């Protein structure tokens, strides 16, 4: 299992996360920022627990995020 965290307010909407991990991320058409699909929000941070199958693509999303607001942890 992995935990993905996203500090959405700082998102600049580059879309790299959506490109490398489309099963986990989508772009919001209203504000142009990325949404972590099915994540729960708490104090501006969005968190999702998901399977290990999503680990590699989301680690890549974490690495290429230009504002470094994605964190992926194996739990």
| Residue with token string 């209203």 | 30
Please give the share of the chain, as a percent, with pLDDT higher than 70: 100
Which CATH number does the domain housing residue 11 bear?
A: 3.30.70.20
Contact 36, 24 (CB under 8 A): yes
> Which pLDDT belongs to residue 57?
98
Strands 70-74 and 25-27, how do they pair?
A: unpaired
State how many domains the chain has.
Answer: 1
Q: Which residues form the domain of 47? A: 2-74
19-75 pLDDT tens trace? 999 999 999 999 999 999 999 999 999 999 999 999 999 999 999 999 999 999 999
Element (DSSP H or E) covering residue 16: helix 16-20
Cα separation of 13 and 15, whole Å?
5
> Which pLDDT belongs to residue 69?
98
Report yes or no on whether pTM surpasses 0.75.
yes
């Amino acid at each position: 299992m992995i935990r993905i965290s996203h500090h959405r307010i700082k998102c600049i909407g580059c879309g790299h996360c959506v490109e490398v991990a489309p099963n986990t991320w989508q772009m919001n058409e209203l504000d142009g920022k990325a949404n972590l699909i099915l994540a729960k929000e708490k104090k501006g941070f969005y968190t999702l627990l998901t399977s290990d199958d999503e680990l590699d693509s989301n680690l890549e999303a974490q690495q290429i995020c230009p504002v470094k607001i994605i964190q992926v942890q194996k739990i």
